[in-house]
Amino acid sequence: MSQVYAARRERLRERCSAGGSATALVSRPANVRYLAGAVPRGAVLLLGMGEDVLLCAGPPDEQGGDGRPDQALRLQTLPAPGGDCAVAAADLAAAQGADSLAVEEHHLTVARHRALRSVAPRLRLADLGSAVEQLRLVKDEEEISLLRIGAEIADQALSELLESILVGRTERHLALELERRLVDHGADGPAFTTSVATGPNAGRRGHCPTDRRVEEGDFLSVCLGAAYRGYRCEIGRTFVIGTSPADWQIELYDLVFAAQRAGRQALAPGAACRDVDRAARQMLDSAGYGEGLPPVTGHGVGLEIDEDPQLAPAAMGKLDACVPVTVEPGVHLPGRGGVRIDDTLVVRPEADGGPELLTITTKELLAL
């Protein structure tokens, strides 16, 4: 694995040099992890003159975070507790003789940026922009295999829940049980706060579980994901509680299912992100649900649960092969509830069989 991290850093270094900076400071935790293999709490990565250094606030194994740092990196621990590793990194870059340092202006606060300037006044601070996020977009097969395992874990946790009695249990309890099952099956933990939404809450994107209990006749929508060795996937399904769904429930479900399928089918290398969004969105729109739809119908996943690309009406850019994304349209009717269906897929060329579905739980409307 060490070669993988070294190759990633080398690609970043090339981008920096092209931008006129010989050194770079990576502070955003997921970016540090991507380039260093681990991110102890508060750690930053310096791509320095001649050597790369992972600066940690304390001994790495006492700073939390999972994974071991790449052994090819020099580790440097701050002498005094409570210090800022980014400031120490700027100091080190200046001591190495660098004249400019590219920093992540979308992550560093104004106050930290000023502290960097003050510790190394002769160092020109440039903007690294989202160079690391761009490197992270296309995943290698090792990363995809970790996402695949995470998706299997989420599928298992969900399928076990469906075998249990649901009526009378609260959203909060169901969410906690799902999270326990994720860990039972080997997840590091949930990839994000598990969402369980019943009755009038069903179908709301990112709904925070409440004390509402599952009732006969409810829609029940669930969204969960596993973090597995740092990689995060997502699955969302909607069910009906009781033996016979109402007509409006069947109609709404069929509509969202068709929209989600259209979005999935639009995934291909070279497809514009906005076209994938439009494929799903226009079906909901032409059925009269255009108002109040969430701003995105899908997004990238990886070391973070919400990465680029965004599948949204104003999104720029096209999909590449080996980019994992969610497709997750939904409709929520205030006071009545709604439907969301959410899969994680990997964009693959037609010749390889088209998009690879990672979350394989059935999307038939189950009456539980």
* Nearest to 89, CA basis, from 51, 128, 44: 44
Shortest Å distance, C-beta 324 to its own copies: 21
Q: What is residue 116's three-state secondary structure?
A: helix
- What does the alpha-carbon distance between residue 16 and residue 36 come to, in Å, rounded to a whole number? 17
- Which stretch, 10-18, 60-68, 133-141, 223-231, contacts its own copies (CB under 8 A)? 60-68
Shortest Å distance, C-beta 366 to its own copies: 26
Q: Of 20, 51, 99, 114, which one interacts with its own copies (CB under 8 A)?
A: 114
Shortest Å distance, C-beta 141 to its own copies: 26
Q: What is residue 76's three-state secondary structure?
A: strand
Peptide bond into 355 cis (omega under 30): no
Q: Of 33, 107, 261, 363, which one interacts with its own copies (CB under 8 A)?
A: 107
Q: Which of residues 304-343 bind its own copies (CB under 8 A)?
A: 310, 312, 314, 332
Shortest Å distance, C-beta 106 to its own copies: 4
Shortest Å distance, C-beta 109 to its own copies: 6
Q: Which of residues 71-90 bind its own copies (CB under 8 A)?
A: 81-82
Half-sphere exposure of 105 (CA within 13 A, CB side): 7
φ, ψ at 344 (rounded to 5°): -105, 125
Q: Does 208 bind its own copies (CB under 8 A)?
A: yes
Contacts of 320 (CB under 8 A, 6+ apart): 137, 138, 269, 347
φ, ψ at 208 (rounded to 5°): -85, 125
Q: Which of residues 22-51 bind its own copies (CB under 8 A)?
A: 41
Q: Does 68 bind its own copies (CB under 8 A)?
A: no
Compute the chain's Rg from CA coordinates.
23
Q: Tokens for 28, please give them.
A: 């955003």
Q: Does 204 bind its own copies (CB under 8 A)?
A: yes
Shortest Å distance, C-beta 21 to its own copies: 15
Q: Are 269 and 355 in contact (CB under 8 A)?
A: no
Q: What is the largest CA-CA distance in the chain?
A: 73
Q: Which of residues 142-201 bind its own copies (CB under 8 A)?
A: 172-173, 176, 179-180, 183
Instruction: Report the interface residues with its own copies, using CB under 8 A.
Output: 41, 58, 62, 64-66, 81-82, 103, 105-114, 127, 172-173, 176, 179-180, 183, 204-208, 294-296, 310, 312, 314, 332
